[in-house]
């Protein structure tokens, strides 16, 4: 019966995630990953750059070249899917399928650490988590990093009885780091699983060598140094401070409870007490929670996405407690579980987690329209949509927010989102509104430019 419930749940989850997947490239994150995927597919790690204000969102200047701000892991996945099914749709299946994989791996790990019931409950709690669903329909790295992180732990657990699985654990850990460098924090819980056993450590290191070589090649080719990265070049490594800890820690505690429910969090605490894997599970969550509590960006509920690679630890610990309770007080345990899952379902509706495709389409529509409406290879003032312009068109985005006012550069057009219009016009007052399409508005430096471009 438990396997039937799992299969039905996973099928429904897969259908929901795939049906609601976003196929829009927008903003710094998704456009940054997608543009890097295209570059890698062409054999490029950097692009030419004539001036810093020609750097679209998602890129960092490197002298006369620009490199991606983002890690290479997700773009590799996107490119592999594109090779199989083309660029139009296939890359946007990566993250939803990773979400399904994450839920299945959470079940498997709960099964190995306690019981089939614990695994099922953990999979349900993880699959109903709001930030998981929210990120699982977007072309971003959070869910993919979480999937590979759980895969690394699961393989290390299996390596206790089958040594060669430690090679797989090392490989999965390496891929998780390629997807998101902070996945290196997974070494803490993995250390509790592998321990000081020399042979296991050796196999683990061997498994990670291929991904380490890929990372080294990319860093040297794109940034000229083995230890450089886009995060470092873009200044993200300076976004940490001890003073950030109190408000961010409270924020993450609050929104973690809000998503999983107070009952599930209390169950997770109980699960840590009774589980033999308590130190592994506790260190898994603590590593990410403490690290990101010192990080600058945090002020929306969905910034708990940074904790996604560790949220399976909460789900598994809670699953262990619920399984323990159901074995002793079946009605009480089932009732509490139903309440916890109902709470999570309410949060899914509260946060409107499946808005992504509709909302981001408002950003994709104007870019695709401009791609065909303007003369080929036009210069276009833009900021929020600059990365999308690079991805969807042959036009060259010019960052109006960074170009100096005294520089004699005047692109004939500007593509702006609503919140950009007022500051843009304050800086460049002579531009005239042409048309609003979806969530973007096209401006022209003169009505004549637009008339000549369209033949009207």
Mean pLDDT of 52-67: 94
404 C-beta neighbours (distance < 10 Å), count:
9
Could you tell me the two tokens for 223? 């940034």
Burial of 366 (0-12, 13-18, 19+ CB in 10 A): buried
Give residue 34's pLDDT: 97
Sign of the torsion angle spanned by Cα atoms 342, 22, 180, 145: positive
Closest CA to 451 of 429, 430, 437, 435: 435
- Residue 316: C-alpha distances to residues 64, 77, 112, 120, 416 (Å): 49, 27, 10, 9, 45
Q: What is the pLDDT of residues 272-311, one digit of tens each?
A: 999 999 999 999 999 999 999 999 999 999 999 999 999 9
Give residue 399's pLDDT: 95
Closest CA to 71 of 213, 240, 218: 218
Give residue 27's pLDDT: 85
Is 90 exceeded by the pLDDT of residue 448?
A: no
Give residue 395's pLDDT: 96
pLDDT-derived band of residue 337, with 50, 70 and 90 as boundaries?
very high
Higher per-residue pLDDT: 338 or 430? 338
User: How long, in residues, is the chain?
Assistant: 456
Is 60 exceeded by the pLDDT of residue 57?
A: yes
Could you tell me the two tokens for 190? 């993995």
Could you tell me the two tokens for 222? 């794109």
Query: Do 316 and 111 contact (CB within 8 A), yes or no?
Result: no
Mean pLDDT of 92-105: 98
CA distance 330 to 310: 29
Burial of 363 (0-12, 13-18, 19+ CB in 10 A): buried
Give residue 456's pLDDT: 47
């Amino acid at each position: 019966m438990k396997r039937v419930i799992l299969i039905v749940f996973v099928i429904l989850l897969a259908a929901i995630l795939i049906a609601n997947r976003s196929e829009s490239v927008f903003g710094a994150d998704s456009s940054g990953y997608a543009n890097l995927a295209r570059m890698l597919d062409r054999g490029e790690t950097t692009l030419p750059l004539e001036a810093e204000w020609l750097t679209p969102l998602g890129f960092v200047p490197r002298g006369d070249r620009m490199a991606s701000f983002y890690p290479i892991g997700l773009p590799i996945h996107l490119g592999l899917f594109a090779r199989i099914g083309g660029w139009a749709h296939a890359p946007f299946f990566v993250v939803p399928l990773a979400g399904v994989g994450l839920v299945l791996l959470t079940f498997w790990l709960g099964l190995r650490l306690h019981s089939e019931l614990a695994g099922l409950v953990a999979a349900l709690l993880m699959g109903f988590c709001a930030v998981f669903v929210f990120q699982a329909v977007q072309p971003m790295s959070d869910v993919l990093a979480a999937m590979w992180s759980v895969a690394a732990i699961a393989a290390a657990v299996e390596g206790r009885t089958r040594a060669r699985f430690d090679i797989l654990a090392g490989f999965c850990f390496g891929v998780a780091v390629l997807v998101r460098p902070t996945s290196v924090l997974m070494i803490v819980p993995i250390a509790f699983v592998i321990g000081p056993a020399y042979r296991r450590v050796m196999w683990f290191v061997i498994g990670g060598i291929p991904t380490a070589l890929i990372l080294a090649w990319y860093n040297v080719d794109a940034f000229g140094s083995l230890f450089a990265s886009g995060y470092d070049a873009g200044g993200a490594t300076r976004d940490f401070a001890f003073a950030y800890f109190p408000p961010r820690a409270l924020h993450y505690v609050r929104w973690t409870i809000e998503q999983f429910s107070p009952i599930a969090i209390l169950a997770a605490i109980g699960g840590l007490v009774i589980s033999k894997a308590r130190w592994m599970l506790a260190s898994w969550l603590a590593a990410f929670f403490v690290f990101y509590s010192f990080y600058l960006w945090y002020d929306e509920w969905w910034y708990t996405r940074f904790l996604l690679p560790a949220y399976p630890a909460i789900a598994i610990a809670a699953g262990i407690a619920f399984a323990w309770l159901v074995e002793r007080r079946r009605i009480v345990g089932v009732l509490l579980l139903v309440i916890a899952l109902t709470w999570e379902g309410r949060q899914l509706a509260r946060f409107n987690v499946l808005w992504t495709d509709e909302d981001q389409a408002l950003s994709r529509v104007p870019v695709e329209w401009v791609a065909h409406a303007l003369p080929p290879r036009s210069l276009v003032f833009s900021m929020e949509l600059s990365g999308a312009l690079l991805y969807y068109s042959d036009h060259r985005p010019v960052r109006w927010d960074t170009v100096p006012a005294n520089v004699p550069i005047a692109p004939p057009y500007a593509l702006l989102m609503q919140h950009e219009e007022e500051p843009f016009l304050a800086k460049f007052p002579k531009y005239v509104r042409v048309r609003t399409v979806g969530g973007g508005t096209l401006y022209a430096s003169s009505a004549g430019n637009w008339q000549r471009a369209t033949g009207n």
